Structure 1
């Protein structure tokens, strides 16, 4: 089997996003891949997501080169979130919580890096806006669908009062469209 690494995992994340072409194509170029390679590498990574003993150790090994060590990282307990820096998304971090059983991921999603000071305003645009930003920019938020790495909502924009549909993958906005 080929050695799997951070680039392969990023290709897997990108493949599952079903991202708009205008975002996916430049990201593939950053990762040195095309859509065929993305599909192949994503399939290989996907095989490691099956619930089984030791899966968290395999995934941590795949992602180890991208791990962000913070504070007492050496003392982290099973189940504590671990953050990774991915070159394809340099403004964000990818946070993973591994199940204490060692048999699965508990959660995995994009987050903003921890920075001192108040949060900065964020554009409501694909790959700039996170699911965690919803309450600050929208009201009357209603979950439409929540499944695996995907989530979609309808919500009212606080500034324009426009009702919108928002689709997220890995906690990162993929699509926003006004509703009639």
Structure 2
């Protein structure tokens, strides 16, 4: 009938490809070249990445947006589910493969009622861990938060600059063997950049 608005087309399903674009969108501020190369690998445009992020943010702000069920609906059944204790608290770790990074898994820590506590990338079981000895080993996307914290212990957590971002402060040797105070930034648990913050 004249004057009636056109019917809205149903939104396409949010897929694992879209989810990978969301991960990349958060990393683009730090490493635009790496993100662009990864986006081309996925066969997606910059507009696709922006749209995936827009839809993801809408899902986050919906009722129960931070529930575990959201990840199951997007990523399917997890590859593994294991019990975990953090202090006096019990939770479950759910892990999904990430085709863009075959050696990593996306891990969600959830309370018994499905409330998500944490979400980030971790090394896949059996995948070789990177060798981290000096600043030169800390290239973007080379390691996860827990790997850097173990390699350069004792590391001190830093407040992230935005959601899904973490920081670590630690000392590491430069190319000449001089130990320097550093601050590393991670997005979705994956290293993005390292800055030298103090003199030797």
TM-score range, shorter chain: 0.7 to 0.9
Q: Could you tell me which residue of structure 2 aligns to residue 28 of structure 1?
A: 39
Matched, 1:171 2:189: yes
Matched, 1:134 2:128: no
For the residue of structure 1 that corresponds to 2:159, the secondary structure is strand
User: Which of 137, 148, 166 is residue 163 of structure 2 equivalent to?
Assistant: 148
Gaps of 5+ in 1: none
- Higher mean displacement: 148-157 or 4-13: 148-157
Q: Distance between the aligned counterparts of 1:101 and 1:19, measured in 2?
A: 35
Give the superposed CA RMSD: 2.8
Q: Could you tell me which residue of structure 1 aligns to residue 179 of structure 2?
A: 161
Matches within 5 A, 1:85-124: 85-102=97-114, 104-115=115-126, 121-122=131-132, 123-124=137-138
Q: Distance between the aligned counterparts of 1:128 and 1:2, measured in 2?
A: 34
Gaps of 5+ in 2: 1-10, 85-89
Matches within 5 A, 1:18-97: 18-50=29-61, 52-53=63-64, 55-64=67-76, 67-69=78-80, 73=81, 79-97=91-109
Which of the two has higher C-alpha Rg?
2
Q: Could you tell me which residue of structure 2 aligns to residue 7 of structure 1?
A: 17
Q: 1:135 to 1:53 in 2, by over 3 A?
A: closer
Give the structure-2-normalised TM-score.
0.73
Q: 1:36 to 1:157 in 2, by over 3 A?
A: same
For the residue of structure 2 that corresponds to 1:136, the secondary structure is helix
Q: Deviations over 1:34-84 (max 9, x none)?
A: 22210111110222223634743232121117x324xxx5x9899411111
Answer 1 or 2: higher relative contact order, Cα 8 Å, separation at least 6: 1
For the residue of structure 2 that corresponds to 1:14, the secondary structure is helix
Q: Could you tell me which residue of structure 1 aligns to residue 26 of structure 2?
A: 16
For the residue of structure 2 that corresponds to 1:175, the secondary structure is strand
Between the two proteins, the alignment pairs up a number of residues equal to: 173
